[in-house]
Amino acid sequence: MISKKMEGLVKNSSVIRAMFEEGKQMAQKYGAENVFDFSLGNPSAEPPKEVREAMVSILMEENPLVVHGYMNNSGYEDVRAAVADSLNKRFETAFTEKNILMTVGAAGGLNVILKTLLDPGDEVIVFAPYFGEYNNYISNFDGKAVVISPNTVDFQPNLREFAGKISEKTKAVIVNTPNNPTGVVYSEKMIMAMAEIMYKAQDAFGTSIYLISDEPYRELAYDGVFVPYLTKYYENTIVAYSYSKSLSLPGERIGYLVMPDELEDFEDIAAAANVANRILGFVNAPSLLQRTVGRCALVPAEAEVYNRNRELLYGELTRMGYEMVKPEGAFYLFIKALEEDDRAFCQRAKKYNLLVVPGSSFACPGYVRLAYCVDYTMIKRALPAFEKLAAEYQA
Amino acid sequence: MISKKMEGLVKNSSVIRAMFEEGKQMAQKYGAENVFDFSLGNPSAEPPKEVREAMVSILMEENPLVVHGYMNNSGYEDVRAAVADSLNKRFETAFTEKNILMTVGAAGGLNVILKTLLDPGDEVIVFAPYFGEYNNYISNFDGKAVVISPNTVDFQPNLREFAGKISEKTKAVIVNTPNNPTGVVYSEKMIMAMAEIMYKAQDAFGTSIYLISDEPYRELAYDGVFVPYLTKYYENTIVAYSYSKSLSLPGERIGYLVMPDELEDFEDIAAAANVANRILGFVNAPSLLQRTVGRCALVPAEAEVYNRNRELLYGELTRMGYEMVKPEGAFYLFIKALEEDDRAFCQRAKKYNLLVVPGSSFACPGYVRLAYCVDYTMIKRALPAFEKLAAEYQA
């Protein structure tokens, strides 16, 4: 007697999560060292030591009624100010605590802002390949996802198609850079062109179109690549951030929304997002974690660990003949499957205890995603399996 | 350009939360010791010392990649088993980890189960007075709240009206005992009569009707009153629990759902709730807090602190002529306003720096709620203000 909507959702539930569970079962069966699980974006780097130090010191020194109590639904004022400052220092922005709403991770933040913005039937544009959960978040509020097809040459967004599909029904556009699943970083030129299309559309339709920048991977960028801060290119930009990857805290569910003063209807949006955070059942972001990230807002991410993995895996897979764009950020490789059917390819990979996720889950069939936020030695152990898998197709 | 639904929600947003913010402002203006804020259910007792000990020891001893990492969306298996055991020990139930889903507080749990169950237009019965947020949670999934009017004699549910309003459209019934805002505990006799009505309705309509027991106040019960465990009286019962009050962790957002094996369609419901937890953006309950409550599942609540407040406030207010039912649980007093318009009464109370919440916010006009989870000395300091307020009406 579950709801009709949930029936469909359970049936088509997350392939990634199913693999994560399967990986654990396989590890029990074959031994953890013989299973090569590249399925889930679960950081392999421990949280920086500052995180534990901050937590213990907060627990020992701060008033427990404050540390564990209710606060404004948007979060502690001092934490929001610390987050704003940390952004201003790094990106030459001018945010204050008013612009920050602490959230239950980026997933919580995306739900809050979509609840705030969407009326039933409103369209939200997404660029394939994209994180499949966006479909669910948009559907939670009866919005309609409009998918821009993938550009498999360099995995930058297909702006021609974007310009054609943006319409008077478009309420929001979600971008994710550095990107899951490709690892590609959208260039500044690309962002400027995208902003121009959106400004033109706002003028043409007399509507407000919000750019939602989902950026849990912001700090995971390699080779000194420039990752533009999107609020500086388009006024109606809202940022959804998570500390899941940068501080290796995915289970803790801590992140924030940035809602700049420049937003059209800023006051209404900030007030509504505060209410949405409460009534969706989050109430507020977990309090000890808020206080922790307040203290750690400028602690750098352990990007070098993932960079090392990236170099090894990209180099070796390329040598074996796999095709991919070299990622500049995040901790994913998006490789071309060795047969047309990416799901069949993933099944075949399992024969070698290799767990990878079909591109179909990201609206980009024919490819598969490898999460390389894993132990370096596991990558080394997995290389023969990738080699055998490739050999199957050469036979 | 916020959504139409949110426009209405912002306008009619939480009176309680507005007061919480107003109380902080008044404290700045008049000095904290001169403001008597009885508005919010924010525990005044510190978390039991076992909580901090558990947190520090988890941070020092357990693997940080496990403590802060992703786990099954339903929560860590060992934590869920510990929670199940703690229930079995206290209530002679027979739950296992399969029956437990860790949630972002009870608010998160209620949203998860309503998402799981409700199709648009499905009715959910609530008994006035009730926590106003239920309206929002039900509306999140396009359900319809059907309100049973209050029985102001003893604030037990009005079963005659319940029997008349339960229908083929009823998908769920929410009860909250010990009750917010009255502090009343529903008697075993009452629960049995309620279950009988629900069983009959299921038979008559050929439907499944789920009883959702929202019980964050379970451990806050006084004078040895018996608080029935509802899964034992009605098979289709789901429990939403929070550690906010029992362990004084409201800001941490940690609780759980109990979904017993006896539920009709148990497997489907448990699977769908797992998916709902993910796609609503919770993903999972905060991980360190999960591990903490797993260790503290049998730590008793500091009920005696609140009992002392209850005795003082009930005794003194009764002496002054205020009318109320003596609460047996939770940390609220629900007193009759001294004029018909409870909102006007609350405004008048503010003249004496007394912050109390109008019963209208709980669908029970003519009454006001006092949250006595406050410092004992504040209650003492507030008594002259209550006296002056009463005197205004006697003049």
Let me know whether A54 and A16 are in one domain.
no
**Is 0.90 surpassed by the pTM of this model?**
yes
- Chain A CB within 8 Å of residue B43 CB: yes
- Residue B286: list chain A partners with CB under 8 A: 251-254, 286, 289
CA dist B370 and B360 (Å) reads 13
pLDDT tens per residue, range A189-215 = 999 999 999 999 999 999 999 999 999
Q: What does the block give as tokens for B270?
A: 């448990």
Please indicate whether, in this complex, the C-beta atoms of B141 and A3 are within 8 angstroms of each other.
yes
- Residue B254: list chain A partners with CB under 8 A: 286
Please indicate whether, in this complex, the C-beta atoms of A55 and B52 are within 8 angstroms of each other.
no
Interfacial B residues in 280-339 facing A (CB < 8 Å):
280-290
Let me know whether A10 and A57 are in one domain.
no
Question: Does A12 score more than 80 pLDDT?
Answer: no
- Chain B CB within 8 Å of residue A108 CB: yes
- Residue A65: list chain B partners with CB under 8 A: 43-44, 46, 248
- Chain A CB within 8 Å of residue B40 CB: yes
Let me know whether B130 and B258 are in one domain.
yes
- Residue B287: list chain A partners with CB under 8 A: 251-253
Could you tell me where the DSSP H helices lie in chain B? 4-11, 15-30, 49-61, 64-67, 77-91, 105-117, 133-140, 159-165, 188-205, 266-279, 287-295, 303-320, 342-350, 376-394
Q: What does the block give as tokens for A290?
A: 């808020």
Let me know whether A253 and A323 are in one domain.
no
Let me know whether B203 and B275 are in one domain.
yes
Collapsing DSSP to helix, strand or coil, B173 comes out as strand
CA-CA-CA-CA dihedral for B360, B362, B365, B367, to nearest 10: -110
pLDDT tens per residue, range B134-168 = 999 999 999 999 999 999 999 999 999 999 999 99
- Residue A111: list chain B partners with CB under 8 A: 280-281
Nearest Cβ partner of B59 from A4, A55, A72?
A55
- Residue B44: list chain A partners with CB under 8 A: 65
CATH number at residue A276: 3.40.640.10
- Residue B47: list chain A partners with CB under 8 A: 64, 68
Alpha-carbon dihedral sign for residues A186, A191, A192, A194: positive
Q: Which residue has the tokens 């660029």?
A: A127
Please indicate whether, in this complex, the C-beta atoms of B6 and A105 are within 8 angstroms of each other.
no
Q: Which residue has the tokens 């937003």?
A: A263
- Residue A271: list chain B partners with CB under 8 A: 10
**pLDDT, mean of residues A34-44:** 92
What pLDDT score does A140 carry?
97
Question: Does A21 score more than 90 pLDDT?
Answer: no
What Rg do the C-alpha atoms of chain A give, in angstroms? 21
**pLDDT, mean of residues A221-232:** 97
CA dist B214 and B368 (Å) reads 21
CA distance A83 to chain B (A): 19
Interfacial A residues in 187-226 facing B (CB < 8 Å):
207-208, 210
Mutation target among B275, B277, B296, B373 for the A interface, most CBs of A within 10 A = B275
Which DSSP state fits B339?
A: S
- Residue A378: list chain B partners with CB under 8 A: none
Let me know whether A183 and A291 are in one domain.
yes
- Residue A265: list chain B partners with CB under 8 A: 1-2
pLDDT tens per residue, range A248-299 = 999 999 999 999 999 999 999 999 999 999 999 999 999 999 999 999 999 9
What pLDDT score does B20 carry?
81
Going by C-alpha positions, the residue among A297, A282, A253 that lies closest to residue B287 is A253
Let me know whether A26 and A118 are in one domain.
no
CATH number at residue A28: 3.90.1150.10
Confidence bin at A22 (pLDDT 50/70/90): confident
Going by C-alpha positions, the residue among A281, A235, A292, A224 that lies closest to residue A258 is A235
- Chain B CB within 8 Å of residue A271 CB: yes
Alpha-carbon dihedral sign for residues B297, A74, B359, B211: negative
Let me know whether B195 and B115 are in one domain.
yes
- Chain A CB within 8 Å of residue B18 CB: no
CA distance B281 to chain A (A): 4
Please indicate whether, in this complex, the C-beta atoms of B69 and A43 are within 8 angstroms of each other.
yes
A vs B: CB pairs below 8 A: 248
Q: Nearest-CA residue of chain A relative to B76? A: A251
- Chain B CB within 8 Å of residue A22 CB: no
Let me know whether B40 and B182 are in one domain.
no
Going by C-alpha positions, the residue among B243, B13, B237 that lies closest to residue B135 is B13
Q: Nearest-CA residue of chain A relative to B70? A: A251
The DSSP result for A307-363, as a single string, is HHHHHHHHHHHHHHT--BPPP-BTTEEEEE-SSS-HHHHHHHHHTTTEE-EEGGGGT
CA dist B251 and B248 (Å) reads 9
What pLDDT score does A24 carry?
85
Going by C-alpha positions, the residue among A185, A158, A179, A132 that lies closest to residue A365 is A132
Residue B239's alpha-carbon distances to A233, B99, B112, in angstroms, are: 48, 10, 12
Confidence bin at B214 (pLDDT 50/70/90): very high
Q: Which of B252, B276, B295 is the last residue of a domain?
A: B295
Going by C-alpha positions, the residue among A114, A109, A62 that lies closest to residue A243 is A109
Q: Which residues contact B347 (CB under 8 A, 6 or more apart)?
A: none
CA dist A371 and A357 (Å) reads 9
What pLDDT score does A15 carry?
78
What pLDDT score does A61 carry?
97
pLDDT tens per residue, range B248-303 = 999 999 999 999 999 999 999 999 999 999 999 999 999 999 999 999 999 999 89
Q: Which of A295, A317, A345 is the last residue of a domain?
A: A295
pLDDT tens per residue, range A315-350 = 999 999 999 999 999 999 999 999 999 999 999 999
CA dist A58 and A62 (Å) reads 5
CA distance A69 to chain B (A): 4
Please indicate whether, in this complex, the C-beta atoms of B286 and A44 are within 8 angstroms of each other.
no
What pLDDT score does B11 carry?
81
Let me know whether A89 and A202 are in one domain.
yes
Q: Nearest-CA residue of chain A relative to B73? A: A17
Q: Which of A274, A295, A316 is the last residue of a domain?
A: A295
**pLDDT, mean of residues A166-171:** 98
Confidence bin at B45 (pLDDT 50/70/90): very high
- Chain B CB within 8 Å of residue A133 CB: yes
Let me know whether A88 and A219 are in one domain.
yes
Residue B23 belongs to what domain range? 4-48+303-394
Count up the domains in chain A and report the number. Answer: 2
Which DSSP state fits B119?
A: P
Mutation target among B19, B62, B253, B373 for the A interface, most CBs of A within 10 A = B253
- Chain A CB within 8 Å of residue B3 CB: yes
Please indicate whether, in this complex, the C-beta atoms of A286 and B286 are within 8 angstroms of each other.
yes
Confidence bin at A18 (pLDDT 50/70/90): confident
Please indicate whether, in this complex, the C-beta atoms of B249 and A111 are within 8 angstroms of each other.
no
Let me know whether A323 and A333 are in one domain.
yes
CA A340 from centroid of its chain's CA atoms: 27
pLDDT tens per residue, range B368-394 = 999 999 999 999 999 999 999 999 998
Confidence bin at B232 (pLDDT 50/70/90): very high
What pLDDT score does A376 carry?
96
Question: Does A20 score more than 90 pLDDT?
Answer: no
Whether the CB-CB separation of B19 and B39 falls below 8 Å is answered with yes
CA distance B133 to chain A (A): 7
